């Protein structure tokens, strides 16, 4: 650690300590009688308004990995990295349709997780378990990638070396995260999200206005990026990319956008943020307001081109063979040290907020849909909360071990696999909000077939640096194009579900009992059927 930039590290640590104080203070912010209830600890009292929910969902959806990986994708492949922009545009109308219905039925029946709804809607603990396990599997590498974002920043600041000297800052950051998440629950990331979003907007606006003046203007940036991307890669004997998509990758671009849009709102951490809202219209308003983040995302992606346009930055990133370092290295080379510290703090805090929400979502899935559903049906609300608090610690420890013990590219590729997995819960969760025609056993079979197909297909994909899980796209059967594996698996999922539903209905195979009613999906906070938060003792 001989070459650590002291100013950058000091500013980074200051903001880390600031959000830690905010995280612990959140335990007393708008709290109910006790935090020993999942409605309180895991969903913030189900009382957040439009303003708080906007920051919470923004902090939840736009993670440190987003701020690192989107410009890294643009740095490595050019225009293909912009697929995240149309995906966000497609996703929010889906949120507008399904979000309020999920909020209403969950508040009427006290559902805490998406798997709670699936179990109640289709009368199947097995289907609920499948959704819960899928969510937990998808969350783990996602949490790990928040650590990858922090580690990239620490590396550029000069915190290198080996052993404890290199990893200690990461241990400290996530020990603090674990502590205030344990004590404050969802209120901690909700409050910290205000700091995170303010920092991110400040840094991106300054970067977009300031950096082009240091690089000769936008014309030079685009020309330099195009020249760099069209150079032939010695490993693949092909150009790295282009600033305009070609006919060869239109299908990949489009299916990545569409498939990811299906996944966005059914990730457990996103559902957790939505269920914390106080009224159903809060979800509608946020579906209309959250696209403002897409503007931020587009500006962020342009940082990848800026990194290509600065020769010393591009050379350093390529020498490290890690495009994830593109943005931190760019900031380190063009900003004064004090503002680079602010920018790195924005990325660091941008990791802590979603990591906290993801760990809460994963622990709630385990508690409600594994522990209580199969082992302790009589568990009290206080016992549920204690189990979730403990599991949230285990989830963070598991993510930390994953990052420290395995290659970072494996974490990135497994996160892409997580997207393939989570889309396979769309039929039971999202479509299940509108119809119960699908048979529960057909949904379970479709999920299983698609999970196997998606996992095996992803495993077979290679890249210049990875023998397996090398990329999220593969050949689409029958049409001779490549596309996002998640979407191909989803089509297969739906075919199995529809065919088996017709067959099982014709054979009159018994279906589960639906505990919901049509009116439940339209209830609002003042509806008599919406449950008040129960009186809970601290015992």
Query: Looking at the domain assignment, is residue 281 inside a domain?
Result: yes
Mean pLDDT of the 289-311 span: 88
Query: Looking at the domain assignment, is residue 471 inside a domain?
Result: no
pLDDT of res. 84: 81
pLDDT tens figures, 242-286? 888 777 688 888 998 899 899 988 999 999 999 999 999 999 999
Domain count, the chain: 1
**Residue 470 carries which DSSP code?**
-
pTM comes to: 0.91
CA distances from 342 to 101, 123, 125, 381, 431 (A): 40, 50, 47, 41, 43
Taking 70 as the threshold, does the pLDDT of residue 537 lie above it? no
pLDDT tens figures, 365-395? 999 999 999 999 999 999 999 999 999 999 8
pLDDT tens figures, 150-177? 888 888 888 766 666 666 777 887 788 8
pLDDT tens figures, 41-54? 988 888 899 889 98
pLDDT tens figures, 463-509? 766 777 778 888 888 888 899 999 999 999 999 999 999 999 999 99
Query: Looking at the domain assignment, is residue 376 inside a domain?
Result: yes
Q: Residue 263 class from Cβ within 10 Å (0-12 exposed, 13-18 middle, 19+ buried)?
A: buried
Q: What span, in angstroms and rounded, lies between the C-alpha atoms of 451 and 489?
A: 7
Beta pairing partners, 476: 481
**Which tops the pLDDT comparison, 118 or 51?**
118
Q: What span, in angstroms and rounded, lies between the C-alpha atoms of 391 and 364?
A: 8
Residue 364 is part of a domain; what is its CATH number?
1.20.1730.10
Query: Looking at the domain assignment, is residue 138 inside a domain?
Result: yes
> Which residues constitute the domain of residue 144?
6-407
Question: How far is Cα of residue 179 from the mean position of the Cα atoms in its chain?
Answer: 21
Q: What is the DSSP string of 343-389?
A: HHHHHHHHHHHHHHHHHHHHHHHHIIIIIIIII-TT--HHHHHHHHH
Rg from Cα positions in the chain: 23
pLDDT of res. 441: 97
Q: What span, in angstroms and rounded, lies between the C-alpha atoms of 446 and 425?
A: 10
Which among 425, 403, 414 is positioned nearest to 472, based on CA atoms? Answer: 414
Query: Looking at the domain assignment, is residue 353 inside a domain?
Result: yes
Query: How many CB atoms are located within 10 Å of the residue 404 CB?
Result: 14
Q: What span, in angstroms and rounded, lies between the C-alpha atoms of 100 and 107?
A: 11
pLDDT bracket for residue 330 (50, 70, 90)? very high
Helix/strand/coil percent split, the chain, to 5: 75, 5, 20
Beta pairing partners, 473: 484
Query: Looking at the domain assignment, is residue 413 inside a domain?
Result: no
pLDDT tens figures, 136-148? 988 888 888 888 7
Q: What span, in angstroms and rounded, lies between the C-alpha atoms of 118 and 425?
A: 9
Q: Which two tokens stand for residue 281?
A: 């219209």
Q: What span, in angstroms and rounded, lies between the C-alpha atoms of 419 and 411?
A: 13
Query: Looking at the domain assignment, is residue 342 inside a domain?
Result: yes
Taking 50 as the threshold, does the pLDDT of residue 538 lie above it? no
Query: Looking at the domain assignment, is residue 503 inside a domain?
Result: no
């Amino acid at each position: 650690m001989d070459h650590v930039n002291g100013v950058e590290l000091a500013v980074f640590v200051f903001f880390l300590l600031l959000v830690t104080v905010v995280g612990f203070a959140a335990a007393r912010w708008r709290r109910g009688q006790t935090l020993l209830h999942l409605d309180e600890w895991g969903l913030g009292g189900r009382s957040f308004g439009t303003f708080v929910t906007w920051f919470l969902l923004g902090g939840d959806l736009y993670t440190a990995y987003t701020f690192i990986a989107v410009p890294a994708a643009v740095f490595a492949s050019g225009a293909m990295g912009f697929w995240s922009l149309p995906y966000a545009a497609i996703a929010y109308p889906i949120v507008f349709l399904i979000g309020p219905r999920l909020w209403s039925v969950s508040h009427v029946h006290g559902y805490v997780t998406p798997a709670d709804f699936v179990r109640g809607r289709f009368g199947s603990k097995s289907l609920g378990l499948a959704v819960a396990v899928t969510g937990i599997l998808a969350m783990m590498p996602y949490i790990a990638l928040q650590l990858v974002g922090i580690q990239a920043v620490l590396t550029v600041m000069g915190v290198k070396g080996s052993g404890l000297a290199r990893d200690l800052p990461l241990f400290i950051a996530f020990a603090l995260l674990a502590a205030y998440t344990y004590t404050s629950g969802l209120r901690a990331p909700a409050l910290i999200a205000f700091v995170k979003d303010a920092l991110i907007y400040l840094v991106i606006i300054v970067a977009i206005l300031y950096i082009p003046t240091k690089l000769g203007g936008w014309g030079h940036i685009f020309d330099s990026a195009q020249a760099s991307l069209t150079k032939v890669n010695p490993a693949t004997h092909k150009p790295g990319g282009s600033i305009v998509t070609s006919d060869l990758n239109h299908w990949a671009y489009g299916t990545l956008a569409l498939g990811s849009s299906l996944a966005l709102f059914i990730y457990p951490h996103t559902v957790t943020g939505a269920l914390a809202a106080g009224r159903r219209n809060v979800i509608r308003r946020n579906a209309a307001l959250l696209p403002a983040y897409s503007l931020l995302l587009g500006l962020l992606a342009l940082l990848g081109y800026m990194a290509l346009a600065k020769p010393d930055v591009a050379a350093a990133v390529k020498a490290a063979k890690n495009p994830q370092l593109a943005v931190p290295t760019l900031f380190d080379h063009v900003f004064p040290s004090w503002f680079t510290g602010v920018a790195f703090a924005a990325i660091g805090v941008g990791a802590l907020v979603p990591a906290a929400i993801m760990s809460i979502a994963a622990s709630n899935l385990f508690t409600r849909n594994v522990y209580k559903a199969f082992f302790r049906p009589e568990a009290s609300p206080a016992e549920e909360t204690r189990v979730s608090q403990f599991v949230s610690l285990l989830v963070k420890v598991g993510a930390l071990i994953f990052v420290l013990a395995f290659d970072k590219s494996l974490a990135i590729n497994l996160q892409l696999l997580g997207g393939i997995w989570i889309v396979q819960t769309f039929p039971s969760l999202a479509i299940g909000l509108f119809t119960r025609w699908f048979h529960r056993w057909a949904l379970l079979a479709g999920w299983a077939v698609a999970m196997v197909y998606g996992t095996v297909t992803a495993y077979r994909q290679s890249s210049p640096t990875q023998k397996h899980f090398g990329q999220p796209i593969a050949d689409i059967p029958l049409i001779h194009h490549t596309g996002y594996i998640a979407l191909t698996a989803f089509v297969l999922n739906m075919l199995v579900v529809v065919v088996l539903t017709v067959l099982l209905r014709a054979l009159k195979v018994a279906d589960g009992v639906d505990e919901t009613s049509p009116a439940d999906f339209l209830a609002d906070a003042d509806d008599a059927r919406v449950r008040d938060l129960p009186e809970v003792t601290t015992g």
